Structure 1
Amino acid sequence: MPTPAPFTPDPDPAPRPAPAAVVTRTRTGGWWTGLVLSAVVLLFLLIFVLQNNAPIQINFLVWTGTLPTGVALLLSAIAGLLLVAIPGGLRILQLRRAAKQGGRRAR
């Protein structure tokens, strides 16, 4: 019966690729993404305002004025956003204050 040849390791094995590094999300990356998206939205708003520049007459209570259509619509959207954001921000502050005071329930 023939004897098996002794095991000899390969003298120069092929190098294995290094494992890929895991990249986690960072706060800076989130800010950068937010800034890029904000710039794109502002660009679209600018295009909207420039394309809708026909003047319209605006009447509010005793005030009367003329504004380009795009500007009037943009101002009304900002006013609507403020109607939602201000009470929401105040509620968040109220909940934070309650959490700092020992978790009492905010009503």
Structure 2
Amino acid sequence: MNMSAGQTTPESNGRQEPGAGTPSPGLAGGADSTAPYSNAPSYSPDTPAAGTATAPTSGPAQRQVTRTGVIWAAVVAALVLLILLIIFILQNQEQALVKFLGLEGSVPLGMALFIASVTGGVLVAAAGGARILQLRASAHRARVRQRR
């Protein structure tokens, strides 16, 4: 069994293992002043020591990122943004005079800014979609030429 300085086992009834009082060369706090934390061990508890065989552990399985988890996180982030947007619109209720292509109207300032940002997003999405379609068509033509 690999024991660090000062560790005890249940069988030892609180007694330290022989040689446990002497610091190991792998522990920080000695002459190695480049360690970020002077009292932290320089080894990883999950990494086996060199030359030792690793036995399968019965601990909990490592978490995996799933599409459902990513979607859930995106929905939570979107809800937080929507709450912040609602607060912004409610705090900016002053009427603003808006003129566009000969049309004129009075709209709450928060709503006018929201409409402007959504319009900008739609324009960016349209330009991005057009570029994606252009790249797909180019890739399709290259595949067709390659088959000939």
TM-score, length of structure 1 as denominator length: 0.73
Aligned pairs for 1:1-107 within 5 A? 18-101=58-141, 102=143
Q: Per the alignment, in what secondary structure is the counterpart of residue 21 of structure 1?
A: coil
Q: Which moved more, 1:93-102 or 1:67-76?
A: 93-102
> Corresponding residue for 1:8?
none
Q: Per the alignment, in what secondary structure is the counterpart of residue 58 of structure 2?
A: coil
Deviation at 1:93, TM superposition (A): 2.4
Change (3 A) 1:82 1:20: same
Judging by fraction of residues, say which structure has more helix.
Answer: 1
Change (3 A) 1:97 1:26: farther
- 5+ long unaligned stretches in structure 2: 1-56
Change (3 A) 1:19 1:83: same
Change (3 A) 1:21 1:56: same
Q: Which moved more, 1:23-32 or 1:78-87?
A: 78-87
Q: Which moved more, 1:84-93 or 1:66-75?
A: 84-93
1:81 partner amino acid:
G
Give the % identical residues.
41
Distance in 1 (CA, whole Å) between partners of 2:81 and 2:126 is 22
Q: How many residues align?
A: 89
| Residue deviations 1:43-86 (CA, integer Å, cap 9, x gap) | 10011001100111111121010100000001111111122111
Larger relative contact order (C-alpha < 8 A, sep ≥ 6)?
1
Change (3 A) 1:27 1:97: farther
1:94 partner amino acid:
Q
CA RMSD of aligned residues (A): 2.0
